[in-house]
Structure 1
Amino acid sequence: MTTKKMKIIITSLAKSESDYSSLIANRLSGLEFNNLSFDKKHTTLRLLELSWNNVVDVELWDISVANYTLPAIATFEANGLILISNETPKNFIEKNSTLFANRDFPLLWMIPSKHNRPITSSGFSSYNITKVQFTSANDDSIHSEFNNWITKLHKNLKR
């Protein structure tokens, strides 16, 4: 039995990390592990659908590069956000204040470990942020961390 479809936004903060966003979105939705051929100049949003563990239907909104402010249409019904960045999301959270007005809004912050350096969480303890480091877009930890995160989200939505 499936439940209401969850809408999850996946994006990156820097243009240099936008490929990660597309590759991870492809992998999570079961597409071939390569970038789809589309012109990123004209396509900034892709909608991918997946059923997670045959329990949760997920609509994954892949937004190429957030440029610090997400389009309002993407934030109206979003249940969570996957942010791929080696930068702390401080400015991003401030710019998207409507999304984070509720500090409980779930954020899965995925950090490419090639930029592995200590990242302090000071100032973020009051937000619902899960941090994950990965080595490449085909890292198995991405699937397991997404599974843990989406399961927790699903349980919270059922309440």
Structure 2
Amino acid sequence: MDDACDTIIRALNTRGGRKDDVALLMARLNGIPGDHVAEWRFDADPREVARARRSVREQLERWGLPEAVENARLLVSEVVTNAVRHGGGHHIGLRLIRADALLFEVTDDEPALPALLGTGPYDEAGRGLRVVTRLAREWGATTTGHHKTVWFEQSLSPARAVR
């Protein structure tokens, strides 16, 4: 990793002795077994939201985490629904990682970051990320090229977390 950092820093300083301050953080992720990661690809179709919920339920049950299913299904439903409605592409990716918490990542083809909307009592849409904010331990969104990933973490009881 030291060599990779040095290479990146040198590449950033190629313009005639630039002396800008640069901070670089690199992390090597080790210790997550392959069977603690599940990935799916769905069509950007409203009918696929039910399949995403079902896939997550089945995976959590395989991992012996039935107590996590209800919140996970609700959170996945909200984020995948947003990707279907606002994703602008043909496919949606869903990844689930089991570590000290459950990490969910939903990727679509719209680079614009999501926004929390103000909603009134009679609005029928715009509450999805508010639900995520309320139920998830943390959430956020990142863009890479022409894609966006919305992620959230769901807590596990200490006895269920993987160390």
Task: Say whether the fold is shared (TM-score over 0.5).
Answer: no
Give the structure with the higher percent helix: 2
Q: TM-score, normalised by structure 2?
A: 0.31
Q: Which of 1 and 2 has greater Rg?
A: 2
Q: TM-score, normalised by structure 1?
A: 0.31
Bigger relative contact order, structure 1 or 2, given CA contacts below 8 A and separation 6+? 1
